[in-house]
Structure 1
Amino acid sequence: MRRLLWPLLALAALLLLNVAFTDGFLSIQIKDGHLYGSLIDILRFGAPLILVSLGMTLVIATGGIDLSVGSVVAISGALACLQISEDASVFTAVALALGLCLALGAWNGFLVAGIGIQPIIATLILMVAGRGLAQLITDGQIITVNSPAYKLIGGGYWLTLPFGILVVAAIWAVTAFLTRRLALGLVIEAVGGNPVASRLAGIDARRVTVMAYTACALCAGIAGLMISSNVSSADGNNAGLWIELDAILAVVIGGTSLTGGRFSLTGTVLGALIIQTLTTTIYSIGVPPETTLLFKALVVTTVCLLQSPAFRAKVFHRRPRPAPKAAAEEKVKVTA
C-alpha cells in the first residue's frame, strides 16, 4: 500500500487542479441512460492505455521491455477495419485481429527467450516492421467503417457505462486473479528477479517469458480495437503512436521496477490514470501545445522522484529504510 501512496497523491492533486480550472469537473450526469462527465471521459479515453500498461507490466516483471505495442495497436485496428470494410462479420474481424496479435506476441517472446536477443532490440524490430505492416494492410490510407456492433467496443455504452471501461475492468480482474490468487504471479516475479535461480528451481523461464510477451500483445490488440472503434476508422501510420512510452511510464509510476521482479497491477492502473488525467489537465489549464510534452515530462519526472526513497531522504533529510535483508543483518550484528 505504501508504494501506491505517491501515485494516489499525484492523481488527487491533478484532479483538484482540474476542479480549480473547470466548473463542474467532478459532476456526473445521466443522459439517455448513459453516464457522462469529465471523470467518465478520463476512464473512457484512458482505457486503451490501461490495457497496454497491464500487458507491459507483465513483460517488465520478467525483466524485459516491449517497444512494439504501439505497432501492434495499429495492426489490430487496421486488420479489423479492413475485414469489416470487406463485409466480414465483426466477430470474424476481431478474431483475426487478435489472433494475429497473439502470433506477434509469441514471436517477440521467441526472439527474447528462444534465441536470446535483448528485449529492447527484439521488440524494436517489430516496432519498426509492424508499423510498416499496418500501412500495408491499409494500403497507406485511412480505412473507415460503419458498423454499430464494432462501434460498441470503444465508443459504445453498456449498463450506463462506456463499454471500454467494462472490458478493462474484466481484463484487470482476470489478470489479478491469475497473478495474485494463483502461483503465476510468483513465477513471473521469480523469473524477473533471478532467472538463473528460477530455472534451477524448476521453473520454465522461457515459457513464462513467451507467455508474458503474448499476453502483452493481446492487451495491445484489444486496445487497438478500442481506438479504431472509437473513431470508426483505422490509421496505420498514427494509431497507437508512442503509446509504448506512456505505458512504460505508467508502469514505473505505479511502482514496478524496470529491472524486473515484484509488480503492481493496481499501481499500473493508477499510473495510466495519472497520465490520462495529466493530458486532460494540460488542455484544461490552457498549456500551449508546443510545450505540452515538456510539461508532461516535468510532471512525470516529479512523481518518479517523489517515489524514490533515496531522493526523499536527501531532500527531506530522512534516513531511508533499510531493505529487509540489510535490516536482518544489522540486527544480527547488534545481537552479537
Structure 2
Amino acid sequence: MNRMFRHHLFWPLAILAALLLFNLFYSPDFFNIVMRNGHMYGSLIDILNFGAPLVLVAIGMTLVIATKGIDLSVGSIVAIAGALACLTISRGTDQNALSLVLSAVGLTVGLSFFLGAWNGFLVATTGIQPIIATLILMVAGRGIAQLITSGQIITVTSDTYNYIGNGALAALPFSIFIVAAIYLIVSLLTRKTALGLFIESVGCNPQASRLIGIRSRLIIITVYMFCGLCAGIAGLILSSNVASADGNNAGLWYELDAILAVVIGGTSLNGGRFYLTGTVIGALIIQTLTTTIYMIGVPPEITLVVKAFVVLTVCLIQSEVFRKKVVQRWKTRRYPAEREVSRHV
C-alpha cells in the first residue's frame, strides 16, 4: 500500500478522480455521452477536446524542463501559429481547397520549428538563461502575432481547416487523435531508444554529458524545436476550433498552465527524470478544473484566484515533505503523552 502511495501517478490520478466525482455529484448527467450526427457529445468529450492544445504544449514543455530549461514563449507561438495559418487561408480564393489548407499548415509548422530552434540556439549556444531567452520571444511573439493579423481578428470560412479542431474521426474529436499520435511517438522515442536517457542526462549534468560523448547542445536545441512544434500544432487546433485568429488573446497564459501540468505530473523543475503520462494527467486536471469552475458558476473576476488556490492545494497534496509534516503534526497532537515519554527515554 505504501508503495502505491509513492508511485508518481497515484496522486495525479487521485486528484483527477476527485474532480470528476465532484462534478458527478454536482451535475448527475456529467458523465452522459450522446451521439449526434456521428459525433460524440458530453462533458468528458469536451474536456478531452478543449484540453488537447494544452496537453500538446505540456508534452513539449516536459522535455524542455527535463533538460533543466523552461519555455515561456509557447503561448506566443500558439498565437503566431494561428495567426499565420488563418492569414494564409483568408487570402486564398477557395478557402476549402485542400492544397491551400496544407500549405497553411506547412508554413505554420515550419515557422514553429524555427521559433523553437531560435529559443534552443539562445539557450544552448549563447548561454543565456532559459527563462530570459524564452521571455524575449514571449514578449516579441505577441507583437509578431498582432503584426500578422494587423491588430484585428482574422476569421476563416474553411470547412477543411475547421476539421482540425472540430472534425470527428470514429465519432471522437479529431484533435484527440492528433494528441494521441504525438504522445505515442514521443513515448516510443524517449522510452524505447537512448534519446530519453540523453535528455535526462543533460538535465542532470550537461557538462558531464558532453564529456562522455553526448552532444548536449544538439539535445537542448532539439527539445526546444519540438516544444515549438507542439505549440504550433496547438495553435492550429485552437484557431481551427473557433475559425479565427486573435493575436492578442490566443494561447494567453498557456505557458503557465503547461508548467503546472508538468509539475503536477511529477516532473521536477530541476531537470532529469520526466514523466510524459503524468504530464498528460496534469493537463487533464487543469482542463477539468477549468470546466468545473465554469460549470458551478464561479464569477469571472475571481476565476483565476479559485484556480490558483486549487492548484496550490494539489501541489501541496503531492508534496511528500508537506504530507510528512502534516502526519507528524497530527501524531504530535493526538499522542502528546507518548511523545513526552519517548523524549525522556
Q: TM-score scaled to structure 2, two decimals?
A: 0.91
1:216 is matched by which residue type in structure 2?
C
Quote the sequence identity (%). 69
**Distance in 2 between the 1:233 and 1:286 partners?**
27
Q: Offset at 1:299?
A: 1.0
Q: Distance in 2 between matches of 1:131 and 1:289?
A: 24
Q: Distance in 2 between matches of 1:185 and 1:167?
A: 22
Matched, 1:171 2:176: no
The answer on 1:51 being equivalent to 2:56 is yes
What is the alpha-carbon distance in structure 2 between the residues aligned to residue 280 and residue 84 of structure 1? 31
**Are 1:18 and 1:281, in contact at CA under 8 Å, matched by a contact in 2?**
yes
Residue aligning to 2:342? none
**Alignment counterpart, residue 318 of structure 2, candidates 291, 300, 307:** 307
Distance 1:135 1:60 in 2: 28
| Aligned 1:74-93 pairs, distance under 5 A | 74-87=79-92, 89-93=100-104
Shift of 1:317: 2.0
Aligned-residue offset at 1:291:
1.5
Task: Tell me, yes or no, if the aligned pair for 1:52 and 1:220 is still in contact at 8 Å.
Answer: yes
**Which residue is 2:270 aligned to?**
259
Question: 1:158 Cα shift?
Answer: 1.3
Displacement of 1:199 in angstroms is 1.1
| Shift in Å, 1:151 | 0.3
| Deviation, structure 1 residue 237 | 0.6
Q: 2:43 aligns with which of 38, 44, 47?
A: 38
Q: Which amino acid aligns with 1:229?
A: S
Residues 30-85 of structure 1 show CA distances to partners (whole Å, capped at 9, x for unaligned) of 11111111100000000000000000000000000000000000000000000001
Deviates more, 1:1-10 or 1:45-54: 1-10
**Equivalent residue in structure 1 for 2:244, among 221, 233, 253:** 233
SS of corresponding position for 1:89: helix
Structure 1 residue 277 corresponds to structure 2 residue 288: yes
Q: Counterpart of 1:128?
A: 139
Counterparts of 2:288 and 2:89, CA distance in 1: 33
Tell me the distance in 2 between the aligned counterparts of 1:103 and 1:289: 36
Q: Displacement of 1:201 after TM fit?
A: 1.2
Deviations 1:219-250 (A, max 9, x none): 00000000000000000011001110000000
The residue matched to 1:100 in structure 2 has which SS?
helix
Contact kept? 1:21, 1:284, Cα under 8 Å: no
1:212 — aligned with what? Answer: 223
Letter matched to residue 310 of structure 2: V
Q: Which amino acid aligns with 2:209?
A: S
Q: Which structure: larger Rg?
A: 2
Give me the whole-angstrom Cα distance separating, in 1, the residues matched to 2:308 and 2:139.
24
Q: For residue 116 of structure 1, what is the aligned residue in structure 2? A: 127
Name the SS for the 1:30 alignment partner.
strand
Query: What residue is the counterpart of 1:94 in the other structure?
Result: 105
Give how far 1:99 is off: 0.3
Instruction: Look up the match of 2:303.
Output: 292
Determine the structure 2 residue equivalent to 1:29: 34
Instruction: State how far apart, in whole Å, the 2-side matches of 1:290 and 1:23 are.
Output: 27
Deviation at 1:308, TM superposition (A): 1.1
- What CA deviation, in whole Å up to 9, does each residue of 1:97-124 have, x standing for no partner? 1100100000000000010000000000
Aligned counterpart, 1:16: 21
- Of residues 52, 55, 73 in structure 1, which corresponds to 2:78? 73
How far apart in 1 are the matches of 2:109 and 2:54? 17
Please state how far the C-alpha of 1:286 moved relative to its aligned partner. Answer: 2.0
The answer to whether the 8 Å contact 1:101/1:221 transfers is: yes
Q: Distance in 1 between matches of 2:126 and 2:207?
A: 16
Q: What SS is found at the alignment partner of 1:263?
A: coil
Q: Quick check: 177-186 or 25-34, which moved more?
A: 25-34
CA RMSD of aligned residues (A): 1.0
- 2 CA distance for matches of 1:283 and 1:96? 35
Q: Is 1:106 the counterpart of 2:111 in the alignment? A: no
**How many residues are paired up?**
318
**1:23 Cα deviation after fit:** 2.8
Q: Cα distance, 1:127 vs. partner? A: 0.4
Matched, 1:188 2:207: no
Match of 2:171 in 1: 160
Structure 1 Cα separation of the partners of residues 27 and 88 of structure 2: 41
Post-superposition Cα deviations, 1:190-229, rounded to whole Å, max 9, x if no partner, equal 0001112111111010000000000000000000000000
- Give 1:30's aligned amino acid: M
**Superposition misfits of 4+ residues, deviation over 6 angstroms:** none
